[in-house]
Structure 1
Amino acid sequence: MSRTPSRRTVLQGVALAGATVTGFDPATRSWAAASPETASPGNGAPPAGPARIPRLDGTLVTDASSLTAAADDFGHIVHHRPSAVLRPGSVRDVVAMIRFCNDHRLPVAPRGQGHAAFGQAQTRGGLIIETATLAEIGDLDSGSTTVTVGAGARWSAVARATLAHGLTPPVFTDYLELSVGGTLSVGGLGGQAHRHGAQVDNVTQLRVVTGTGELVRCSPSRRPDLFHAVLAGLGQCAVIVEATVRLVPAPGTVRHYLLTYDDLDTFLEDQRLLVREARFDYVEGQVSADAGGAFRVHVLEAVAYGPPVGPEPDDTVLLRGLRHDPATVTRTDRTYYDFLDRIAPFVAELKEAGLWAYAHPWLDLMFPGRSAADLAAPLLDALTPATLGPGGVVLFYPLLRERFRTPLLRTPDDDVFHLFDILRTVPPDDSAAVDRALAANRAAYDTVLAAGGTRYPVGGMRLTRDDWRTHFGAAWPALERAKHTYDPNGILTPGQGVF
């Protein structure tokens, strides 16, 4: 594997007022610091009492700006301030600090790009491990069938590296600037998932650090209990430091279609038809407001891959029998990477307008296909452009259950199910609006759960342990056993609230 140079330090990073973090005081539950003179190896040990922290290749910091940044995320709703942040220079640092934290019962949470919406990667008073420095991408050639990447690598970087050899991971999330470890901890869904399953279904091996600080390689045949407890396991049993991902041949160009519907039932029926027939390589959808503010404009997004993995797209064949409004069809031929990264300009606009800093009380649910229209209709009827917020989006797309094999990624019991997302934006100082959105999310979840649906666990919702037990269902006993085995002191990823 090709690697970036390690950032070695003699000690463990700079804290406040020029002091260096040297240890942890169990009595006060605080990090100990010494001046540069007393901390240097030639001037004796740190003051008696604190437990000396391990020697690190990277940095351990406790400065106010780092802690404040780690106490926020993309959601801008939950703010749990850690006591320290690790920026590892190597996997060894992750092992050493998790062992240290386990010994002293300090909670630990890995953080990739900080894109969590509800404090899932935060911890009050514990250690945040920023995985962005673990971003190596393994060597490749045109005959590769997998690629091994660091947990902190962004999917955009993985795509560019593999495309240089005519290869691609089969499934991408819509936003490419997420970390590999982050999406594999929750599932990783995209418009290609109806053909290939989620991102977690395309992992062949992991390297992880358990809650006791054990560095383990695991796969379906090697420590399978741990492998299946980590993928979509919300960081409860181990921290992902490296993943080996399946690769497939990449198309050079794609044809991208947008088809508009004015009827929800017809829109969903055509989505289900397309994924059952595997007519397209990518299928998603959006719902937007009409001129009167009602969410009745349904846009089916479908993509056909061209050579060398498919034939030149044939509009007549691909669109045959669909019941969209033919006057509104748009079709665009574009490069494969341009398609994958198509929302980058939209994200840039959101950031330019300051909307990236808004609160994001997102709702992410999975509906059984048989009841998707009935479940969605009241949620869409209650939605207004004002409650969705500027830059907000409603996503609605179909998935085939038989493609999903990861036990902890819970899906409805229907051959086709739909992911439904209301991606709200709310001014961060409007706490009442955030509370209303969170309450609406919970009410929607309860209704969907009663109808046989589930949730994709990335949005804004408060769940109890009993809720999580219900969410994981038949997979709960195996997850609970793995938690007791691999994180017996319960230090990992407390922000999820699972245990």
Structure 2
Amino acid sequence: MTSRTLSRRAMLQGALVAVAFNPVSQSWASTLEPGAVPLPPLDGELRMDAASRTSASEDFGHIIHRTPWAVLVPGSVDDIVRMVRFAGRQNLKIAAARGLGESHSTFGQSQVQAGIVIDMSALSTIHEVREDSAWVDAGVRWHELLAATLPSGKSPPVLTDYIELSIGGTLSAGGIGGQAFRWGLQVDNVLEMDVVTGKGELVRCSRSRERPLFDAVRSGLGQFGIIVRARVKLVPVPASARTYTALYDDLHRFMEDQRRLIDEGRFDYVEGFALPSNGSWSYQLEVVKYFNPGAEPDDAKLLAGLGFQPGTLQVKDSSYFDFVNRLAPLVELLKQLGVWFFPHPWLDMFVPARAAEAFVQEVLAQTTEADMGQGPILLYPIRSSELTTPFLRTPNDRHVYLFSLLRTAIPPTPENVAALVQKNRAIFERLTAIGGKIYPVDAVPMSPTDWRRHFHPFWERFEQAKQRYDPNHVLTPGQGIF
């Protein structure tokens, strides 16, 4: 394709498109100027206009801002292969953003200063839906996959609470939801993937094929390869969902009941929240049973023996899709109010059950309503036996609690954001001392030493995988791991 063709396309789309790279000035060019290296032929575009670059300098956290030199809008998987190889030859860095601004990057994890950001949302095809699985592009969002599978009564076994996230994005981190106690995380339920390694090799991997890469890329934080396609497990789901919520005033009983429920398997979904209550805290249990019409759940049997406060139980029936998509109206409201675009210094933690009660009490005692900006505080257990992904680091305990402070910075000032990030760091240090781990999508400043501790005892394996699959450290510098 000629540069004239690219320029004409750029004018039509309002984007300035690069056709060459100047290694002397370390800059892109829209014409093949003297000394410049031509880009490989692309089915999509490498955009270098200010609007595209500024958009790619943001994430959901709105805390770290790193402006890339260019944004690749791939027209094919081959474009990603070509650009990773080109970046390796020119000593450039690349990060894959799974739809710019989604919530699995709150501290610059998917950004790259003076490099290339790949907008993976451009690859969003559902290629195949089978009885037990779906083969999809990494830029497909979970709600889009559900729209394709639910007419056949099928769903991925685990869904994040917010299903506008992309499949590739959550598989790179973990993918947590209230079904995880039964199924593990989303990374535990992917069957195979196509991955572009840091060497620019397109490799299909699974538990039986290229297993080391399969294990490295799941929860690998983009360090070893870019997930471009995935085969996601599907399971039958009933058409309806009954949601039960109830309040506790006793943290010990609340956490005890949660552990009991996931061990007994009464419900299909178990979560919980800490709620401010007259200068103190109360705790809300949220559990769900899926069912088909004509086979309604036995409420009394499901709730027997639970210690919630009398008079606080609420029960609501909905379709399965309306339940899993329940946050959509709230998110739309937050967007209309502008709050969705405020900084989000989130902190997600995996806490060992043996220390969870004391740790939660300690953190809540130093957390105010103002610290949260009306963001939720999640608290619910997962059975460690269901977590099978090596680089998803969780505490060594039979149960681990997800404890998440999903903060919104109100007011959205740099001073308030810095104070909240500092509080996150202090909590992180206390978490580390009790054997806990973060879910690394958070706004926590991390040093290479912190990362080595985080991946212990698998750090050497992590480091070896980097050397094997991305020896020139082309991929995902935003994490600051190496």
Task: Identify the TM-score tier after normalising by the shorter chain.
Answer: over 0.9
Matches of 1:30 and 1:341, distance apart in 2: 43
Q: SS where residue 110 of structure 1 aligns?
A: strand
User: Residue 125 of structure 2 contacts residue 140 of structure 2 at CA under 8 Å; is this kept in 1?
Assistant: yes
Give the deviation of 1:117 after TM superposition: 0.7
Distance 1:351 1:498 in 2: 32
State which of 457, 466, 479 in structure 1 corresponds to 2:462. 479
- For residue 459 of structure 1, the aligned residue among 442, 447, 466 is 442
1:356 aligns with 2:340: yes
Question: Residues 388-437 of structure 1, C-alpha deviation per residue, up to 9 Å, x if partnerless?
Answer: 11x31111111000000000111111111100011111147511111111
Contact 1:357 1:428 in 2 (8 A): no
- The 5-angstrom pairing of residues 315-354 of structure 1 reads 315-354=299-338
Say if 2:424 and 2:443, in contact at 8 Å, map to a contact too: yes
CA distance in 1, matches of 2:149, 2:410: 39
Task: Using the TM superposition, give the Cα deviation of residue 49 of structure 1 relative to its aligned residue in structure 2, in angstroms.
Answer: 1.1
Q: C-alpha displacement at 1:224, in angstroms?
A: 0.9
Moved more, 469-478 or 202-211: 469-478
Mapped to 2, the partners of 1:427 and 1:489 lie a distance apart of 41
For 1:421-436, what aligned pairs fall within 5 Å after superposition? 421-427=404-410, 429-436=412-419
Instruction: Report the residue type matching 1:353 in the other structure.
Output: L
- What is the aligned counterpart of 1:282 among 269, 272, 286? 269
For 2:253 and 2:61, how far apart are their aligned partners in 1? 33
Contact 1:259 1:300 in 2 (8 A): yes
Aligned equivalents of 1:322 and 1:100: distance in 2? 59
**Given the alignment, which residue of 126, 135, 138 partners 1:137?**
126
Q: Please give the per-residue CA displacement for 1:282-337, whole angstroms capped at 9, x wherever unaligned.
A: 000011111x243x1210100011138x9531111100110001311001111000
Equivalent residues in 2 for 1:90-489 (5 A)? 90-113=76-99, 114-115=101-102, 116-141=105-130, 144-290=131-277, 292-294=278-280, 296-307=281-292, 311-389=295-373, 391-427=374-410, 429-489=412-472
Alpha-carbon separation, structure 1, partners of 2:201 and 2:443: 32
- How far, CA to CA, are the matches of 1:312 and 1:78 in structure 2? 48
Q: What is the DSSP-based 3-state SS (H/G/I as helix, E as strand, rest coil) of the residue aligned with 1:322? A: coil
1:286 partner letter: F
**One-letter identity of the residue aligned with 2:310:** P
- Would you say the 8 A contact 1:11–1:56 is kept in 2? no
Which deviates the most, 108-117 or 177-186? 108-117
- Which secondary structure does the structure 1 equivalent of 2:371 belong to? helix
Tell me, which stretches of 5 or more residues in structure 2 are unaligned? none
Answer whether contact 2:192 2:206 (CA < 8 A) is retained: yes
The C-alpha deviation readout for 1:211-250, integer Å capped at 9, x for no partner, is 1111110111211111111000000000000011111001
Match of 1:41 in 2: none
Aligned equivalent of 1:21: 18
Between stretches 124-133 and 17-26, larger displacement belongs to: 17-26
Q: Secondary structure at the match of 1:174?
A: coil
How far did 1:140 drift? 2.4
The one-letter code of the counterpart of 1:416 is H
TM-score (norm: length of structure 1):
0.92
Residues 1:358 and 1:20: Cα distance change in structure 2 (over 3 Å): closer
Give the conservation status (yes or no) of the 8 Å contact 2:15–2:52: no
Instruction: Tell me how large the CA RMSD over aligned residues is.
Output: 1.7
Which amino acid in structure 2 is aligned with residue 473 of structure 1? Answer: H
Q: Distance in 1 between matches of 2:211 and 2:351?
A: 29
Provide closer, same or farther for how the CA distance between residues 272 and 98 of structure 1 changes in structure 2, counting only shifts above 3 A.
same
Contact 2:251 2:357 survives alignment (8 Å): yes
Task: Report percent identity of matched pairs.
Answer: 46
1:89 matches 2:85: no
Aligned AA (2:58): D
Alignment length (residue pairs): 474
- How much does 1:19 deviate? 6.0
Residue pair 1:172, 1:192 contacting (<8 A) in 2 also = yes
Aligned letter for 1:492?
A: L
Q: Distance in 2 between matches of 1:205 and 1:228?
A: 11
User: For residues 224 and 307 of structure 2, what CA distance do their matches in structure 1 show?
Assistant: 47
Q: Letter of the 1:218 partner, please give it.
A: C
- Match of 1:411, SS state, is coil
Paired with 2:229 and 2:61, the residues of 1 have a C-alpha distance of 26
Match of 2:460, SS?
helix
SS of the aligned residue for 2:24 comes to coil
Give distance in 1, aligned partners of 2:189 and 2:17.
Answer: 42
The runs of 5 or more residues in structure 1 that have no matched partner are 1-8, 35-45
- C-alpha distance after superposition, 1:160-207 (max 9, x if no partner): 111121111000000000000100000000000000000000011010
| CA distance 1:47–1:412, shift in 2 (3 Å) | same
Name the aligned partner's letter for residue 39 of structure 2: I
1:343 positional shift: 0.9
Letter in 1 for 2:286: E
Most deviating of 187-196 and 427-436: 427-436
Q: Cα 1:275–1:263, aligned 2, differ >3 Å: closer, same or farther? A: same
1:76 corresponds to 2:62? yes
Change (3 A) 1:475 1:428: farther
**Matching residue's letter, 1:403:** E
Q: 3-state DSSP class of the match of 1:138?
A: strand
Aligned residue for 1:103, secondary structure, equals helix
Separation of aligned partners in 1, 2:366 and 2:411 = 22
Cα 1:289–1:27 change in 2 (3 A) is: same
